[in-house]
Every structure is written in C-alpha cells, then in structure tokens.
C-alpha cells in the first residue's frame, strides 16, 4: 500500500520576498559563517521529541534531524534535478527558512554531505555557476553551520561537483573529514545516536567510480526507532555501478524508516538491502525527474511490506516522543524492539530482478547509469514493464 503525503504549497509563499525573477538576491551575499556556530536570530527550540523533516526539493535530498534537546543535523541540501530557469536558489531559501521556523534559529549544528552530486550539495559560484543548495544557504541565505562533515577527497568520484564543493569547504576551520565509521562524528545528545555505518564506498567502490557508490550511509537511532539515510548508495551488479548496498546491508540492519536510496532508481534498493532493512515506512525523495525515478521495480518491492511517502509531493514530517511510537504522514506506527527485529521474516518481494540480462541491458544508451526515458526502451529489460 502506498500512502503519499501531499501538503498545500503555502510554504513556497515564504520565497516571495527573497529573490525576484532576475535572481538579484544572489548577488549581494549576507554574512557568511566560517569557523564555529555564531549567534543566530532567536533561541534554539528544544522540541522534547525527535523530529525528522524530509524537505520537498523535488528530486533531490535535504533532511533535517532535530533531537529532543534541540541539536540539529542537516543531511544534504541540493538542487532539484528539474527546476525553472532563474529559480536555482528557491530550494535553499525554502529549506533555510523552514529550519528557522522549526528550530528558532537559522542555524544547524551539523551539515553532512552524503556525497557530491549537485542534487545533494548544490552548485557553487566558485565554479562559475549560479550558487544553489548548501553553498547558497550559507553564503547568501544566512544559514550558520556548526560543523561541516564530508568524506574529503578520498576516494575521488566521477563528479565535477566534488571539486566545486571541496574548493568551497576545505578552508573552513569548522570542517571534519569522515574517514571511517563510528558514532563520534555527530553528537546530538544522549537520546539520539547518529552512526556512520561504513566509510565511503565500504571498500567495494574504487576511486574514480560512480559518485553515488561513495555515499555515506548513516543510521539514526532514538530508542527503538531507527532510520536509514544513505544518500544515493548503489546496489547494482553492473561492473560500472558497484554493489555497495549488499556489503553495507548487515551493518545498517533493520530500521523502521528508510529514506530510499538514489530516489528509487533501478540501481538502488536491491533485494539484499531491502531484506536486511525491512522498513515499516519508506520515504522517496523524488518528484518530477528526467531520469524516470522512482523505478517500478523499487516501488513494487516497497509496496509489498512498507508504507511509502514521497517528499516530492510535499514535506514529510516524522515525530516521536518516546522512541517507541512515531507519527509520519498523519499515521502512527510502533517501532520494533531488537528482539522483534531478530525474528523478522523476509519481506514478500520475490527474487532479485537484477539478473545478468539486466546488468547487460538495463541501462540507457548513454550508459551513464540512469534510466532516461528519452532514450531508454523498457522492452530491453524482460520483467521490467514500466519506465516512469
């Protein structure tokens, strides 16, 4: 069963005063913040509950984790894959203003870049492009960040945005490079545990490979409630898209909430991964996409055992006061205990469709790893009947 949360577009009214059609607002930077968390308007709100916000940035990622004590982690802030000319900064304006509304200040304690694609970190004026995403939010939108977290230069991926992001971030005194797994990278207080469960690529993906395979997989735990946030982690068996999901799956383990990897592309969410995570709820960060996300294989598999919400239809809000029950999309769920997770039966999703035939033929003619419906024929993949 698929349930989608659709909110009225009133939040977008907040953008009206920030940037006219000419984009002139990007030309006069606000104070930029570099080297510690400065004073920000208002007092930090301690909500007394875990709040996780999956922002609506169409097909792109931006997720705010707010601990009961008010400390915050922002995972990604990118550029939508489909956007109107002249409105490159709309997403960053929306997210920064929502952060201030939710937390009482235009600031976060941590920003973590899952990887360096523009739909996760945006674009940067240092590269000659218009600024967007996290770069615009910090340099022009007044978003203060306590600590920047990323994987650094190693391993090097195939995305030019890696160079752009690092040129922008590397000289910041408040930046840390995540060079291994652990819970020490993010401190949201004693009630919420944030664990990087594997280093970038998990030892599977060699340098120079597809950037998605280097996504940092993160598990957030609050009592019995667990969430998987793993960027665009790949689960493909193709020789160009390495199967990182299968290696990371037992490290991530069972979770209640799964932020669907890579917007639900066919190169993500393989059977090993879904069986290990066995989520109650899946959140798809996907709206209109020229790449055909989400793929029918992924949505069909998830529908067999999880409720699915799409942040491309409107902001998705998760809240939990006790780590035992949580609400999302107007529904209440009960988190599973560790003992219950240990006895979970495999989800009813059949056999993995990533056969040798799919590995050879299940990609577009440009062989860039995406399902682009402009030049992709689903008839080339037996068993895959929809190109969405």
The CATH number for 335's domain is 3.60.15.10
How far apart are the C-alpha atoms of 98 and 75, rounded to whole Å? Answer: 15
Residue 375 lies in a domain: no
Give long-range contacts, CB 8 A cutoff, 24+ apart: 366-375.
367/240, 369/210, 369/212, 369/236, 369/238, 369/240, 369/241, 369/267, 370/265, 370/291, 370/292, 371/265, 371/266, 371/291, 371/292, 371/293, 371/295, 372/290, 372/291, 372/292, 373/290, 373/292, 374/290
| Alpha carbon 129 to its chain's center | 23
Query: What are the residues facing 309 on neighbouring strands?
Result: 283
Domain that holds residue 235: 9-353
Number of domains making up the chain:
1
**Could you tell me where the DSSP H helices lie in 16-142?**
90-103, 118-121, 133-139
Residue 361 lies in a domain: no
Residue 247 lies in a domain: yes
Residue 301 lies in a domain: yes
Tokens of 82: 């489909």
Q: What is the reported pTM? A: 0.81
Residue 370 lies in a domain: no
Q: pLDDT by residue for the chain (388 residues), tens digit each?
A: 433 333 333 333 332 222 222 233 333 333 333 334 444 456 778 999 999 999 988 878 999 999 999 999 999 999 887 665 556 678 899 999 999 999 999 999 999 999 999 889 998 876 666 678 999 999 999 999 999 999 998 888 888 889 999 999 998 999 999 999 999 999 999 999 999 999 988 888 888 788 999 999 999 999 999 999 999 899 876 556 788 999 999 999 999 999 999 888 888 898 899 999 999 999 988 776 666 678 788 888 899 999 999 887 889 999 999 999 999 988 999 999 999 999 999 898 865 444 433 333 334 333 333 333 332 333 233 333 332 2
For residues 107, 99, 92, 210, the Cα torsion angle rounded to the nearest 10 degrees is 80
Residue 360 lies in a domain: no
Residue 384 lies in a domain: no
Tokens of 382: 């037996």
Residue 153 lies in a domain: yes
User: Collapsing DSSP states into helix, strand and coil, what is residue 186?
Assistant: coil
How far apart are the C-alpha atoms of 57 and 331, rounded to whole Å? Answer: 23
In degrees rounded to 5, what are phi and psi of residue 310?
-120, 115
């Amino acid at each position: 069963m698929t349930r989608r949360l659709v909110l009225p577009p009133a939040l977008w009214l907040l953008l009206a005063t920030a940037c006219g059609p000419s984009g002139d607002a990007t030309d006069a930077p606000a104070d930029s913040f570099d080297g510690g968390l400065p004073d920000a308007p208002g007092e930090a709100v301690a909500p007394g509950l875990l709040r996780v916000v999956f922002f609506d940035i169409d097909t792109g990622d931006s997720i705010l984790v707010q601990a009961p004590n008010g400390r915050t982690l922002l995972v990604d802030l990118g550029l939508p894959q489909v956007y109107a000319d002249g409105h490159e900064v709309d997403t960053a304006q929306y997210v920064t203003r929502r952060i201030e509304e939710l937390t009482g200040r235009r600031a976060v304690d941590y920003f973590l870049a899952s990887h360096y694609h523009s739909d996760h970190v945006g674009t940067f004026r240092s590269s000659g492009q218009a600024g967007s995403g996290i770069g615009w939010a910090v340099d022009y939108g007044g978003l203060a960040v306590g600590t920047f977290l990323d994987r650094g230069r190693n391993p090097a991926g195939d995305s030019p945005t890696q160079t752009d992001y690092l040129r922008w971030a590397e000289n910041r005194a408040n930046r840390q490079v995540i060079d291994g797994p652990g819970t020490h990278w993010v401190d949201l207080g004693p009630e919420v545990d944030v664990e990087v469960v594997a280093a970038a690529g998990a030892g599977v993906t060699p340098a120079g490979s597809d950037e998605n395979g280097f996504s940092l997989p993160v598990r957030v735990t609050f009592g019995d409630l667990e969430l998987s946030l793993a960027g665009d982690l790949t689960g493909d068996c193709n020789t160009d898209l390495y199967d990182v999901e299968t290696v990371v799956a037992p490290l991530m383990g069972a979770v209640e909430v799964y932020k669907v990897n890579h917007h639900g592309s066919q190169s993500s969410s393989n059977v090993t991964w879904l069986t290990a995570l066995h989520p109650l709820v899946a959140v798809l960060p996907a709206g209109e996409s020229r790449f055909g996300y989400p793929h029918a294989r992924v949505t069909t598999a998830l529908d067999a055992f999880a409720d699915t919400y799409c942040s491309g239809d409107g902001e998705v809000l998760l809240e939990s006061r006790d780590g035992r029950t949580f609400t999302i999309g107007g529904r209440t769920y009960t988190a599973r205990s560790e003992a219950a997770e240990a006895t979970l039966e495999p989800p009813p999703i059949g056999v993995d469709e990533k056969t040798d035939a799919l590995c050879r033929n299940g990609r577009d003619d440009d062989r860039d790893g995406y399902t682009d419906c402009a030049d992709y024929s689903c008839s080339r993949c037996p068993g895959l009947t929809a190109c969405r």
